[in-house]
Amino acid sequence: QSVLVYAAQETELLTALERSPALAVYTYDSRERVLEVATSAEEAELALIIPQTAIAQYETGEPIVLEGHLMYWLNAAERAEIKALVESELASELDRPVTLNLSGNDIYFDADQYFFVFSATIALLFVTIMIGISMVPNLMVEEKQTRTLDALLVSPASPAHLVAGKALAGLFYGLLGCIAVFALFGFLILQWWLAILAAVLAVLLLVAVGLLLGSYVSGRSQLQLIGWFVVLPLLLPVVLVALRGLVPDGAVAVMEWIPTVLIATLFRLSLTPNVTISHYGLPLLVVVVSILVAFTLVVQLVRRQDRR
């Protein structure tokens, strides 16, 4: 078990930890540094603080209470196992009872730096882009080739109804893909309502883009050729914004307003503990307006085909 330790001063408590064969101990020179390292950890590492009070308890022979911090995503069984291990190892080394206090000491990562957050965000967008850019336009192309779309256009259904039906079909398949992403990365999510909202918005946006693409192309070969030119400007800005510091600040400032980047922002916010409308209000508004504009364009294109 990895243990990241900060001790207020040199103490036998730290020496006892280092003697334990079951613990891999790493020491740091400040409490802030220990928590910073623990925040970026991708495995179950214990951040252990040995305060002056614990050192005084050891010197006076009192029961020792240490302060422990663990990542919030560890379940109760994993927490209990780590707590029992550290307490038993120290008790055997010091020959007195030791209590590790974990209550209220959860660690939350920086959503802009944690690797799994980037992986989860890219996975969510990649799934929705692939469904929106590949499956949805293919349905449109197939309907054009089989003349099914012509039959639908002369039916009582309005262009808006036709677009809504295709959007619902795309939403269904897109959300199935998002469920797979949630199953893989769900342990990171704190604000489920915001994660689900980000997924729905991502699917709707990419379905709208897919319908626009399907309205323009006439065959599958043309779709495959153009599709990749559409994917790059949707996904690449998300990667470039994540490389902040390596990419010019001016370029990042512009790319932050691209709808897919805003959706990535909303999803990252769902992985943080304290979220208010000031964090997600403006990105949410821009994404919703973008979706409405995209679907309006699709309806107009379908209406033009109807007039022909």
Task: Report pLDDT for 196.
Answer: 94
**Is residue 79 located within the same domain as residue 127?**
no
CB–CB of 101/137 below 8 Å?
no
Q: Which of 38, 73, 107 is the last residue of a domain?
A: 107
Q: Tell me: pLDDT of 111 over 70.
A: no
Between CA 28 and CA 299 the distance in angstroms is 61
**Is residue 123 located within the same domain as residue 264?**
yes
Task: Report pLDDT for 147.
Answer: 57
CB neighbour list of residue 274: distance below 8 Å, 6 or more residues apart = none
Which residues form the domain of 57?
2-107
**Is residue 26 located within the same domain as residue 121?**
no
**Is residue 300 located within the same domain as residue 182?**
yes
- Angular region, 147: left φ>0, alpha ψ -120 to 50, beta rest: left
Average pLDDT, the chain: 81
Cross-strand bridge partners of residue 101 = 67
Which pLDDT band holds residue 263 (cuts at 50, 70, 90)? very high
How many separate domains does the chain show? 2
> Of the spans 116-130, 150-164, 248-262, 267-281, which averages the highest pLDDT?
248-262
**Is residue 133 located within the same domain as residue 210?**
yes
- Percent of the chain residues past pLDDT 90, beyond the cut: 13
**Other Cβ atoms within 10 Å of 161 Cβ, number:** 14
Q: Which of 90, 107, 124 is the last residue of a domain?
A: 107
**Is residue 81 located within the same domain as residue 136?**
no
Which pLDDT band holds residue 38 (cuts at 50, 70, 90)? confident
Q: Tell me: pLDDT of 183 over 70.
A: yes
Q: Which residue has the higher pLDDT, 146 or 118?
A: 118
Task: Report pLDDT for 145.
Answer: 61
Task: Report pLDDT for 170.
Answer: 84
CB–CB of 141/227 below 8 Å?
no
Which pLDDT band holds residue 112 (cuts at 50, 70, 90)? low
Between CA 93 and CA 13 the distance in angstroms is 9
**Is residue 99 located within the same domain as residue 129?**
no
Average pLDDT over residues 41-60: 81
**Is residue 94 located within the same domain as residue 172?**
no
Task: Report pLDDT for 149.
Answer: 52
Task: Report pLDDT for 292.
Answer: 94
**Is residue 92 located within the same domain as residue 119?**
no
> Of the spans 100-104, 225-229, 243-247, which averages the highest pLDDT?
100-104
Most distant CA pair in the chain: distance in Å? Answer: 92
The CATH code of the domain that includes 78 is: 3.40.1710.10
**Is residue 289 located within the same domain as residue 152?**
yes
**Is residue 99 located within the same domain as residue 125?**
no
Q: Which of 78, 107, 136 is the last residue of a domain?
A: 107
pLDDT tens column, 287-307: 999 999 999 998 888 777 655
**Is residue 73 located within the same domain as residue 217?**
no
CB–CB of 117/111 below 8 Å?
yes
